[in-house]
Structure 1
Amino acid sequence: MRVIRLMQDSDLDEVIRIENQVFHPPWPKEAFMEAPCTYSWVICEDEVLQGYIVYHTVLDEGVILNFAIDPKFQYQGLGTYLLKETLNYLIDNGIRMFFLDVRTSNMVAQDLYKKFDFHPIGKRKNYYSEPIEDAIVMVKYIDERNNENI
């Protein structure tokens, strides 16, 4: 059975394994332990951790700090499901604006975010390393008049 639950300390080794496969350079373990992560979730099926998403929230704003699906489970809709469910939770709990940074070359991620009404609002020059690349800054606004779940 597939579940989304809050990340636990016991998930960290598996999260780091996925992080190391997906991102170059990856976040170090210390970053997961020390970053201002307000909400961190994992998606699992039959206790196999398949991905994670990490948010930081302040007042009514949220930032997606990190988000990855294990390469063995990509292109199965898990990222869409995890993003949808966590956005809905945060919207239900008062978040009205979301931000994220994404590599200019990561069209798969950009397309996913666009499905959820994230829009580019700027660039961060040379934001990423290995290879050096710009980040696209994206935002999603929640319309107060139509605050239905995604």
Structure 2
Amino acid sequence: MKFYLIALLLSGMDESTQVQNRRERRSNVLLTAFVELSGQSLAVKLRNLSADGALVEADSLPVEGAEIRFRRGDLIVAGKVIWVRGTRAGINFHTPLTPELLLRHVPTPRPRVTADFRRPGLASKPLTLSERVAASRWVTPIAPDSPGE
């Protein structure tokens, strides 16, 4: 019984609920951005962006709790590194981005190409003389069964 209660309590602390309970919808992107910390500029990959924050990726990142400035093109916004796991970090912006500013930095998705796979139709046409000669070389006549085989 104790094991069941502990498992039930731990399941309520699952990190997936944090992702599901986000306040703002995030747009998945793969863009270059910069994180500025103490006068240094660090190039990062921007993985997703919302009005409240961003997910960035880099080999070396600021520590959790660091006050930073996030820069992407003409967008510069102050923020704080909320979490760091491996090569990824979550940034929370101090002031939310307006929808107009956010949409300017999220590219419009390209239309998906749907492949049109169809089996070619079967059509027959008479063989040319050279095709008939080639076919006759490939085909060997079947001899009638001889007795004893």
The answer to which structure has the higher strand fraction is: 1
TM over 0.5: no
Q: TM-score range by the shorter chain?
A: under 0.3
Structure with larger RCO (C-alpha < 8 A, sep 6+):
1
Q: Which has the larger radius of gyration?
A: 2
